[in-house]
Amino acid sequence: MIARRYRVSGRVQGVSFRAWLQDEARHAGLAGWCRNRLDGSVETVLCGGEGDVAAMAARLQQGPSHAKVEQVEDLGETDLVDGDFEIRPTG
């Protein structure tokens, strides 16, 4: 099990990015969380098997249909998160 943190920037707020991410992560069996950031980006922590996390990280490049992802920044390893994938308040 690994946990990695990412910041996704572009047109990623107001386009259901977090709901899409939650659905995709749950479908992939990942734990973690996502939240809007005050700078307009979305931050996420993905926890699971290395291959599953890498596959979801690659999907972040596309996002939902109305999103326009400009950059996905890998912020490195972080603490593991247990349980379900949740949407957190803006931070």
Residues classed as catalytic: 18, 36
Q: What is the DSSP string of the chain?
A: -EEEEEEEEEE-SSSSHHHHHHHHHHHTT-EEEEEE-TTS-EEEEEEE-HHHHHHHHHHTTT-STT-EEEEEEEEEE-----SSEEEPPP-
